[in-house]
Structure 1
Amino acid sequence: PETLKSQELVAEISRLSPDLFAVVAFGSILTPEWLRVPRLGAINLHGSLLPEYRGASPVQRALWDGRGGTGVTTIWMDEGIDTGDCILQRWTPIEPGDTAGTLALRLSELGAPLLAESLVLAAREEAPRSRQREPGSYAKKLAKRDGLVDFSADAVTIWNRQRAVTPWPGATTGYDSRRVLIVESRPHDLLPGVAAPGTVLEVAGRVVVVACGLGSLELRRVKPEGGAVMDAIDWARGTRVSRGARMNWNEEAMT
């Protein structure tokens, strides 16, 4: 349903006498009125190892923070935001090539059987109720401006943030007053800066290397404005990007 505020809908679902609710990726908070409807309670599948990363963007924030792993948790829903007692959890490593898109897919594949197992346990009235540790952390929802690439940061931070904002809102920089999305990147080194952040250091092999505040970043795949995703080296050669050129990275350049 588009809204849960309808009293008629509450009454209609109540007449079905449900034993359990299973809630996944639902953008609304269930009110106490709704939580009282199922006889045994409501179970939610969340994309983090609670109590870390409660809230709207757990997958993206785990990447943003450079975590080496994350997971999924099933919880008994309460009136808070992802604060209910835990039932089951599963962990998975975050791979160097992961983006928010690939990690979310893997977590969904990990979470589906976990939710099924939790529902079976709940139906048998055998599901655990493990209170979450406090304080937890909250995963603030991403904004479009979070995609703006700031090359004055260190290479690892930029890489982590690029993965976190892919596919949305996209890691956005620019060249010659045209937007360029960084689709895939890797830290090249963490040596002290030898050029101003955003300066192209190399156009060679299969990558374009750009100076950062600390170290440098390999651009491996990009999506130029109005174009398709391509290898960064092909974009650079087609656009005639050369060593010493500057990538736009400040917010004013992207407006």
Structure 2
Amino acid sequence: MPSKREGIIFFGTPAFAVPTLNALISDKEKILLVVTQPDKPKGRGKVIQPAEVKKIALEHRLPLIQPDRVRDENFIKMLKELNPEFIVVVAYGKIIPGEILKIPEYGCINLHASLLPKYRGAAPIQWALIKGEKITGVTTMLIDEGLDTGPILLQKEVLIEDEDNAQSFSEKLSRIGADLIVETLDKMRKGVITPIPQSGESSYAPQLKKEDGKINWSVSAIEIFNLIRGTYPWPCAYSFFKNERVKIIKAQVMEGESEPGMIVKAKNELIVATGRGFLKILLIQPEGKKIMTAKEFISGRKINEGVDSFF
């Protein structure tokens, strides 16, 4: 008789995955191996930096590997020899091949930051905000060979507040998702979860590109407001003022009507017209400079109300 399997192999890379790994550690789960992506250059100086998950693994002295290729035969052989109960995947950043999916006793379980089948793909939080959703959530699912198409295990709805942006909401969902993973593992061991095939209308949330942040002032103020929230901290919503590229970091929607992009107020506050409504800019970042208040931005520039505009 084969021995009973125990333990988890954890795949994850960025900060979003850290609360789940911490929750598994706190729950006294046996972490057989942590798999994360190779160290990469980050920031302006392109300094090589470890992934956030790697930092936690090293802090807790967990076995760690950073394979260049997840399809590498020796890597897959190592996973098979570990004979895990579960493989848990949270924002690892690479497709898990079919050969790995067959290894764990209970399958490979993924935490996805949307209510599947909506917002499959790499940037579900960002696109939910950009599209103006009022509710999204987290899903645990069994990974299959499609893109976020596997059967659903558990889901939890989360309300999106007006003050949420992609950074703050990602932190919120990562904590809620960590608890959902712990609950999922517990219920799977008890045999009280039935995987349910995904149903309903699906949508795709591709990785953001830099140009996705370009503001089109002819759309409504609420659409621009949502773009600002959904693209922070990267790539950030941006526009141009007198050929100076600026990022809009925080804003409020106001009523009003004028030519889209026109600066309608530039004394103590900065208000810009859109295709429907006005946008009051609260925080702005000129290229190569720190984030500043609208008042600080105005004080260093000559701006003619009703003449100058963003484009």
Query: TM-score, normalised on structure 2?
Result: 0.75
- Picking from 161, 166, 189, the partner of 1:100 is 166
Query: Displacement of 1:243 after TM fit?
Result: 1.2
Aligned residue runs from structure 1 range 2-21, under 5 A? 2-21=68-87
Does residue 199 (structure 1) correspond to residue 265 (structure 2)? The answer is no
2: CA distance between counterparts of 1:60 and 1:219?
20
Query: Displacement of 1:204 after TM fit?
Result: 4.1
Q: What do the CA deviations read for 1:41-91 (whole angstroms, capped 9, x no partner)? A: 010000001111111110011011101121101001111111111111111
Query: Displacement of 1:123 after TM fit?
Result: 2.6
Aligned residue runs from structure 1 range 20-39, under 5 A? 20-39=86-105
Query: Displacement of 1:245 after TM fit?
Result: 4.2
Query: Displacement of 1:240 after TM fit?
Result: 2.9
Query: Displacement of 1:132 after TM fit?
Result: 1.1
- Please provide the CA RMSD for this pair: 1.4
1: CA distance between counterparts of 2:76 and 2:287?
47
Contact in 2 for aligned 1:177/1:248 (Cα 8 Å): no
Contact in 1 for aligned 2:215/2:239 (Cα 8 Å): yes
Query: Displacement of 1:117 after TM fit?
Result: 1.0
Aligned residue pairs total 245
Query: What SS does the aligned partner of 1:107 have?
Result: helix
2: CA distance between counterparts of 1:114 and 1:139?
22
Contact in 2 for aligned 1:173/1:247 (Cα 8 Å): no
Aligned to 1:239: 301
- Picking from 286, 294, 298, the partner of 1:224 is 286
2: CA distance between counterparts of 1:9 and 1:140?
28
Aligned to 1:41: 107
**Percent identity of equivalent pairs:** 36
Aligned residue runs from structure 1 range 142-181, under 5 A? 142-181=208-247
Aligned to 1:68: 134
Query: What SS does the aligned partner of 1:115 have?
Result: helix
Contact in 1 for aligned 2:115/2:136 (Cα 8 Å): yes
2: CA distance between counterparts of 1:82 and 1:246?
46
Aligned to 1:132: 198
1: CA distance between counterparts of 2:220 and 2:120?
27
Query: What SS does the aligned partner of 1:74 have?
Result: strand
Aligned to 1:117: 183
**Unpaired segments ≥5 residues, structure 1:** 250-255
Query: Displacement of 1:142 after TM fit?
Result: 1.4
Contact in 2 for aligned 1:53/1:137 (Cα 8 Å): yes
Runs of 4+ in 1 over 3 A off after TM superposition: none
Query: What SS does the aligned partner of 1:218 have?
Result: strand
Query: Displacement of 1:177 after TM fit?
Result: 1.6
Aligned to 2:18: none
2: CA distance between counterparts of 1:248 and 1:135?
37
Contact in 1 for aligned 2:267/2:298 (Cα 8 Å): no
2: CA distance between counterparts of 1:108 and 1:240?
43
Q: Using a 3 Å threshold, how does the CA distance of structure 1 residues 97 and 70 change in structure 2: closer, same or farther?
A: same
Query: What SS does the aligned partner of 2:216 have?
Result: coil
Query: What SS does the aligned partner of 1:239 have?
Result: coil
Query: What SS does the aligned partner of 2:277 have?
Result: strand
Mean Cα displacement is larger for which, 211-220 or 238-247?
238-247
Q: Using a 3 Å threshold, how does the CA distance of structure 1 residues 116 and 245 change in structure 2: closer, same or farther?
A: farther
Query: Displacement of 1:203 after TM fit?
Result: 2.3
1: CA distance between counterparts of 2:68 and 2:132?
35
**Unpaired segments ≥5 residues, structure 2:** 1-66
Aligned residue runs from structure 1 range 200-215, under 5 A? 200-205=263-268, 207-215=269-277
Contact in 2 for aligned 1:155/1:215 (Cα 8 Å): yes
Query: TM-score, normalised on structure 1?
Result: 0.91
Query: Displacement of 1:125 after TM fit?
Result: 3.1
Contact in 1 for aligned 2:263/2:310 (Cα 8 Å): no
Query: What SS does the aligned partner of 1:22 have?
Result: strand
1: CA distance between counterparts of 2:89 and 2:297?
43
